[in-house]
Each structure stands twice: as structure tokens, then as C-alpha cells.
Amino acid sequence: MQPEQPSADTGERAKGLLDRLEAGHFRGVAAVRLSINFFDELQARAASRSASAIAQNTGPLADATDAGLQGVIDSLSLDESTATTLRNLGSDFRETLGTILGGGGTDPASLDQRIGAAFEQFVGSLRDALAPAPTPAPEPARGPAPSPSPTDAPSPGSPVDQPVVAAQVPTVAAPAPTPTTDPVDPTVEPQPAPTVPAPSLDDAITSFSEAFAGALSTFLGAVREAGSLPEPTAPRGHGGAYQRFLTIYNSLRQPATPALDEAA
């Protein structure tokens, strides 16, 4: 006798049940027991939603990186050659970001750690590219000029021995200063013009890092929300059975970090 194959109608019923379970239509022990019984299916659906959230939010995260990098270039008024070097480093980071997000891992904690490490390496490359050129070593000190030898002394009667008569320059009196119509009050001290300090490299990098951290937080929040599993609704009376099943369900929801996330 051949085993009975699941029909399309059975699959539709299961899908409908999972939809209602995720929508919170079940309460108490029924909700938590269904979450345990269909945990694999719920987890697969959550991973699929997380992958979709990653695909939808990768572009905005990369755009935020480009905008922050352009802010560094503009605030430091970099020349085109240096700006091109920084943009090339930005392209390398975007490629690394795409590798991380395209590796199949959807755990927000793992993504946060790996993207954060890649960004720190990116910032280190930016600092290296913007480091000032090393100061050249000073030239060795030269000794005193050699004294002239006796053979270099001028001979008597040469033009060097002739007295030099200074030319008579007529003395011309300086013109009297023209009085101004707006004399300066000597009792009032002049106020210096306000100066705006130029942004430093540390300020530019800090601003960029903070902006990227905000964009990454938004990205991970979207992934975390999309991949969340159903939260069972507690019954009106806190029964012992509900607590026992909830403990089992929570142990399933908090496994160790998947190997795929660690190896990717």
C-alpha cells in the first residue's frame, strides 16, 4: 500500500493556519503548541522574510555609505586625486558589503558584527590615505667657508684698493600726511574678524561613522522585524501548562548562531 501523498488542499490549509498563527488569531496554550509543532515552517518563513528585507535595504545602506564618504571629501576640501582614491576605497567596501549580505546569513547579530568589522577596516584605509606625507630629513649642516689664501689677496693699485665715493643723493622732504575725515578712536580696540576652524580629519571620520551607524541600525532593525517569530499570546489565567510549553518554545527560538553565519 502506497503512503498517502499530501494534497494541495492540505498544503493550503497548513498555509492558512500559519497565516492565522502569525497574525495572532490563537491564544494561550493553543498558540504556543502550534508554534512548537510548526516551528520549522515558521522559521523558514521568517528566514524568507529576512532575506527579502536584506535585499530591499541593501541599496539604502550602500547609498548612506556613499553619502557619508562624500561628506568627508567635501568637509576636508580634498583635491580630485585624493577624492578619487577615497571613492575607490568606498567601492571596495561596497563590494565587501555585498559579499556579506549576499552570503545567505540572516541573523542580525552576526550581520552587525561582520559589517561593523568591515567598516572599521574601511575607516582605517581612509585614515591611511589621508595621512600627511612624511617630513623629509634635514640636510646635513655645512662647514665654515674656507679662508682666502695669500695668493688670493688683491695686488696694490687694483680697483679694490681705490676708495669708493658715495653718490650724493638730494634730501627730499616727505609729504605731510593727509588728514582723514574719519579718525580712528585710539581708545577703542579693533575687533578681530571671527574665524571658523576648518574641520579636522577626526571630526570628518567621526561624523561619517555616526551616520553609518545610524543607517546600519535602521537596516538591522528592518531585518530583525521581518524575521521575528510569532509571540504567543498569554491566556487570561497564567496556567502551568502554558508556562511549560512557552519554555520549550523559547528554547527553540534562541539557538546558537547558525554555522552559515559564522562561516560566511
Q: What is the pLDDT of residues 158-215, one digit of tens each?
A: 555 555 555 555 555 555 656 555 555 666 666 655 544 556 899 999 999 999 999 9
Phi–psi pair at 158, nearest 5 degrees = -75, 165
Query: What is the mean predicted confidence (pLDDT) over 108-127?
Result: 96
Q: Is the pLDDT of residue 41 over 70?
A: yes
Query: What is the mean predicted confidence (pLDDT) over 109-126?
Result: 96
pLDDT bracket for residue 234 (50, 70, 90): confident
Q: Which residues contact 97 (CB under 8 A, 6 or more apart)?
A: 58, 61, 62, 65, 115, 118
- Looking at every residue in the chain, the average pLDDT score rounds to 80
Query: What is the mean predicted confidence (pLDDT) over 100-108?
Result: 90
CB 125, CB 82: distance < 8 Å: no
Instruction: Note if the pTM is more than 0.75.
Output: no
Residue 145 burial (10 A CB sphere; 0-12, 13-18, 19+): exposed
Region of residue 180 (left: phi > 0; alpha: psi -120 to 50; beta: else) = beta
Which amino acid is located at 168 in the chain?
Q
Query: What is the mean predicted confidence (pLDDT) over 145-170?
Result: 56
